Amino acid sequence: MGDPRRLKKKFKKPRHPYQKERIMEELEFLGKYGLRNKREYWKMRTILGNWRNIARHSRTLSKEQALEVQQTLIKKLNRLGIIGSEAEFEDVLLLSTEDLLKRRLQTLVYEKGFASTIYQARQYITHGHIQVGGKKIDAPSYIVKREEEEFIGFAPSSPLSTAKEKT
């Protein structure tokens, strides 16, 4: 039967276990974006790969179906803030994993100056000091939507919210 909460894997491992260039690239992203392990990078890479597969598959559909699928995908990526509002469908295939990593809550908390390091941003989020739009979010990998971006801040119950106001 299996556990109902864990229906499928959320990532695909690399096909080859040891490739020096790939490993060095992964380690660079781990340090730059404060990821806990390579699994978090693989999740983002898999999500991006799924969007690319949808884009490639839409080219094989009829004109009406393809247009509908493409517009839906572009709207979703625009709402998430991954592509701009004037982006075309070909831009979906040009996206990189870094574009998706920049939209994580951990990265945005660091870039907005709530934390002095990317690792401190992760700690603030997991300890419940950060809220987005009035809701506490304790997942550093949360993908922040474009309209939620300006509502990132310290939670009112956090001791850090009063400490930042005094300085």
Which DSSP string do the residues of 4-68 spell out, in sequence order? TT--S-S----SSS--HHHHHHHHHHHHHHT-SSHHHHHHHHHHHHHHHHHHHHHTTS-HHHHHH
**Stretch (H or E) spanning 152:** strand 152-154
More confident residue, 85 or 13: 13
Task: Give the bridge partners for 143, in sequence order.
Answer: 104
Q: What is the pLDDT of residue 165?
A: 61
Please report, as a single letter, which amino acid is at residue 100. Answer: L
Q: What is the pTM for the complete model shown? A: 0.87
| Tens-digit pLDDT profile for residues 111-148 | 999 999 999 999 999 999 999 999 999 999 999 999 99
Non-local (6+) Cβ contacts of 87 within 8 A are 74, 77, 78
The whole-number pLDDT of residue 9 equals 83
The domains found in the chain, sorted by start residue, are: 20-96 (no CATH), 105-166 (3.10.290.10)
For the CA atoms of the chain, what is the radius of gyration? 18
Cα–Cα distance for residue pair 145/24, rounded to 1 Å: 30
pLDDT tens for each residue of 24-68:
999 999 999 999 999 999 999 999 999 999 999 999 999 999 999
